[in-house]
Amino acid sequence: MGVQKNKTLDSCDATGDHDQLDAPVKSIEDKWKLVPAFLKIKGLVKQHLDSFDYFVNTEIKKIMLANQEILIESDPSFYMRYLNIEVLSPCIEEGYNIIRPITPHECRLRDMSYSAPISVDIEYIRGKERVIRKGLVIGRLPIMLRSCKCVLYQKNEAEMAKMRECPLDPGGYFITRGTERVILIQEQISKNRMLIEKDSKDRFQCTVTSTTQQTKTKTGVYESKGRYFLAHNSLTDDIPIAIIFKAYGIQSDQEIAELVGFEDYILNCFSASIEECHRLGIFTQIQALKYISTKMKSSSKQFASNQSSRRNRIDEARELLAHIILAHVPVIEYNYKLKAVYTASMVRRVIQAQLCLVNIDDRDYYGNKRLELAGQLIALLFEDLFKRFNTELQKIANKIIPRQRAQQFDVTKHIRPDIITNGLVIAISTGNWTIKRFKMERHGVTHVLSRLSYVAGIGMMTMITSQFEKTRKVSGPRSLQPSQWGMLCPSDTPEGEGCGLVKNLALMTHITTDIEEKPLIRLAQNLGIEDITMMNGEEIYADNMYIVMLNGNIIGATNKPRKLIDSIRFLRRKGYLNEFISVYTLKKQRVINISSDSGRLCRPYIIVIKGQPKVTNQHIQELALGQKTFIDFLQQGLVEYLDVNEEGDSNIAVYEKDINKETTHLEIEPFTLLGACAGLIPYPHHNQSPRNTYQCAMGKQAMGAIGYNQSQRCDTLLYLLVYPQRHMVKTRTIELINLEKLPAGQNAIVAVMSYSGYDIEDALILNKSSLDRGFGRCIVYKKQVVAMKRYPNQTCDKIKGPLINIETKKPKWEHEVLDMDGIVGVGEIVDNKQVLVNKYTPSSTTMTLAEQQTSAGTTTNVFAEHEDKETPLIYRNPVPACIEKVMLTSNHEDMFIVKLLTRQTRRPEIGDKFSSRHGQKGVCGLIVQQEDMPFNDYGMCPDIIMNPHGYPSRMTIGKLIELLGGKAGVLEGKFQ
């Protein structure tokens, strides 16, 4: 594990002068400076922002085009067509037609959702005329902070300060009803890819999960008793594979066998399947389609024949083959040749796996995984809600138009924006994603953003969760995969049931978004790939022929694989192709895979050609002077992104001294293997590995500062350290994530020695004088809220002044701290059970005035004082607190709310938890007067005494070096 070494202790670097003379490759001084250059353009949460921006700018338009028209059966002349859709800027409607922009900070304070209107232009029929309406709002979309639609987008520090926002806050989260929520990155198996694995009956099978805009299905090919079958959940029974080929229109047995392969071992294995087809008496396409139609489930028949209810069974089977089985493979005008080649390729892989010619795929290999981000998840949800919105309009139009009415039907009067608005807000607020079309029901997709510390917030933004059942004790998905090297942090994972399933991104990892496929297909054709539908089996599987696949779809074949791969990589390095396109080969299967889909993990590497890195010291100097940016390095072909699959095709050196003739790439900096949390540990490569894992969890709990705007916030619970300090011994990651500007913890003078019996089992002994001087002192802020509700009978809650004691003529003790308006004043010290807000609720909230009078049988004044119940907000805590601030405002439901922030200052006491930066936690066992503490020859007393028995068994040598480094820093007078 490489991480930045201590500058003082390690002044003679590994790439010193004596090494430079022997080294065949000249070392690149300060190449680590590429890391801050990368983070400057990418940031730690760029993947979330890119994904959301892609949805707002591109995907939302695609969803609109896929559901563009609303037609009704009762009136063929009526239609409604969407012409354009766009997301506007976040705003709020106050009063009647008063719309003004809103900031995220205001939403936090007022318990509102930070959202923007979705505006559409529509064309529709009203009566007999065609009408075009522009700027019609169909709902509101929650906006991700710092995305292209956010008011904070590309703002400088001064502008951020005006909006009461911290410039170091990374963004990438949503605010719904005043709560900050993050959509966690979701790990999925990759779509539209062939996977060879063993099923529950220990049979080899090749499965493909096909996903299109309309449907998601799983197709499998497996071997049973020497014959091959196709399995799909819309079929009642598995179908012999030769029948499927006949149904595709390939009626010659020789042609079917050749498609699978002309080698002897293939023909020997496959001949039984052709005999099975003969035994069932199926020789033509029509017979095959009839056979398939008898095996179809009733639901799939309905799906296949949804356009016409009178289709015959053969047409239903034809539709099933075209649009449901292997749905992602395109079928144009019922020409199944491409699908036949794809199915044959699946059969061929099963045969090769049986004969041990190819290995079975590992589901846990990270090249077979895709990560779903906020943009994709919101796109799925929005499409579902948009379809529901259109269906509701269609139902209303179908109901109203047939009736003869004087007034013409105007579709805009029946638009319900709450369908989309509430659907999105509820999903993000609860974290429950339910999409019936894809049988998708996920829970815990969003989490409340942890504001325990600055590091906790950043750690949450890079967190990846798996859909794997956490209670299952299976080691496979939890273990550290070699393919995760450099992509995921090896240390940052929780203990317990989430171990290995909840992961974190490494420092320089980027997650791709979708790239348009059509230009890539045209490019591949220009580079000489041949149309596979025009070739027979012998040509497809010739020794020098490679099948070319784009995102799991066959687009052709080539007999010059090296030339094709080199050309694509050359164009990518020159900047003519998107930098995130990857190309790699599967030599045993003779396949070239080109990937441009979203959710792939990739990271940048320095390109090495003929044993020489393309980045030189001159380039790094230009970068340091600001003459070059990271984008220039990409466009000039000095650095390129590799995804997990392409890494398998590359030979990557970690240090310059490891470069040889075979090397293709060089690591930018080894410390970027770690994530944002593990990178904060000094000398992690000197520690036992679980210690780094423990520290990743505990580093997020460190008290310190959470943002420049922490005094403006009104959080439920906020812990702030009174005197946070910068780290004496720091790593490069600390500088890169700006932890120096918002530090956590303090530098203590530590004596490693035994003292009394109160330090056993990792307990610490604290110096009382240090505590008196403010060591470890913290402030705790807690929020109290009162909402003034309105009730159906036109009554509402009230706040009344304090109750006066008749004898003393002063407010009674519970109301002592209240002002005359019945709300506690700022700066007051409140004790347990004192009233903060003197609120009253009407005794009856449903009966009107007349009803109450009738039920009472009198005409007394029902609004008399005694009719209101006391429902005060009471302070309940044995420790007194100070009122920091009082805020009066209204929330999203236009309900008047009172927010109070209470402040307590706490000092460390016995039982409080302290921890070093190496996962060594302990509680305070004793607080000792300074006179009783040990001291050195300078008369210096330690702040903390730590038991030396915590070192031998823990093997945290990193802590010992940190103690040395800290001491060297103090003596030298500079940070290490």
**How do residues 757-772 score in pLDDT, each as one tens digit?**
898 988 999 999 999 9
Helix (H, G, I), strand (E, B) or coil at 423: helix
Q: Which two tokens stand for residue 387?
A: 């379809």
CB-based contacts of 811: which residues, under 8 Å, 6+ apart? 802, 803, 804, 805, 818
- Give the model confidence (pLDDT) of 50-94 as tens digits: 999 999 999 999 999 988 888 888 888 888 899 999 999 999 987
Residue 694 has pLDDT above 50, yes or no: yes
Strand partners of residue 888: 898
> Which residues neighbour 406 within 8 Å (Cβ) at sequence distance 6 or greater?
none
Mean pLDDT, residues 745-768 taken together: 92
Residues paired with 229 in a beta bridge? 222, 240
Q: What are phi and psi of 87, to 5 degrees?
A: -100, 125
User: What pLDDT sits at residue 850?
Assistant: 64
- Decide: 679 and 462 in contact? Cβ < 8 Å: no
Mean pLDDT score, 807-817: 87
Q: What per-residue confidence (pLDDT) applies to 361?
A: 87
Please tell me which residue, 228 or 436, carries the higher pLDDT value.
228
Q: Tell which residue, 41, 14, 138, 164, has the closest CA to residue 80.
A: 138
Measured CA to CA, the distance from residue 91 to residue 247 in angstroms comes to: 57
Kindly state the helix (H) or strand (E) to which residue 20 belongs, with its residue range: helix 17-22
Strands 764-767 and 829-830: unpaired
3-state helix, strand, coil in the chain (%, to 5): 30, 25, 45
Least-confidence region, from 291-305, 430-444, 589-603, 663-677: 291-305
Model confidence at 733, pLDDT cuts 50, 70, 90, reads: very high
pLDDT at position 157, please? 92
The whole-angstrom separation of Cα 963 and Cα 976 is 11
User: What does the pLDDT read at residue 167?
Assistant: 92
Dmax (CA) of the chain: 110
Nearest C-alpha neighbor of 429 from the set 451, 418, 444, 440: 444
- CA distances to 232, 507, 677, 732 from 737, rounded to whole Å, are 49, 10, 10, 9
Statement: residue 317 has pLDDT above 90: no
How high is the pLDDT of residue 849? 62
Segment 772-784 shows an average pLDDT of: 94
Mean pLDDT of 132-159: 92
Mean pLDDT of 707-726: 92
End-to-end CA distance of the chain: 20
Q: Is the pLDDT of residue 802 over 80?
A: yes
* Model confidence band, residue 311 (pLDDT cutoffs 50, 70, 90): low
Cα 133 versus chain centre, distance: 37
Amino acid at 248: Y
How many whole angstroms separate alpha carbon 564 and alpha carbon 548?
Answer: 10
Q: What is the mean pLDDT of the chain?
A: 88
190 Cβ contact partners less than 8 Å away, ≥ 6 residues apart: 367, 368, 369, 370, 552, 597, 599
Strands 129-142 and 91-93: unpaired
- Across the range 899-923, mean pLDDT stands at 94
Spatial contact of 702 and 454, defined as CB atoms under 8 Å apart = no
Indicate the DSSP class of residue 645.
H
Q: Are the CB atoms for 545 and 536 separated by under 8 Å?
A: no
Q: Evaluate if residue 974 carries a pLDDT over 90.
A: no
Residue 820 reports pLDDT greater than 70: yes
Does 906 have pLDDT greater than 90? yes
When pLDDT is averaged across residues 804-833 and rounded to a whole number, the result is 90
Per residue in 586-632, pLDDT (tens digit) is: 988 899 999 999 999 999 999 999 889 999 899 999 999 989 999 99
Report H helices in 713-847.
732-736, 768-772
pLDDT at site 663: 92
pLDDT over threshold 70, residue 25: no
The Cα 112–Cα 108 span in angstroms is 7
Burial code (b: 16+ CB inside 10 Å, e: under 16) for 507-542 equals bbbbbbbbbeeeebbebbeebebbebeebebeebbe
Q: Which amino acid is at 207?
A: T
pTM, 2 dp = 0.90
Q: How far is CA 428 from CA 88, 140, 142, in A?
A: 20, 13, 9
Query: pLDDT at position 855, please?
Result: 62
Is pLDDT larger for residue 536 or for residue 853? 536
Mean pLDDT value across residues 851-871: 62
Of the listed ranges 100-104, 146-150, 311-315, 709-713, the least confidently predicted one is 311-315
Domains of the chain by start residue, with CATH: 46-188+372-447 (3.90.1100.10), 195-327 (3.90.1110.10), 512-673 (3.90.1070.20), 702-777+909-972 (2.40.270.10), 779-906 (2.40.50.150)
CA 780 to chain centre: 30
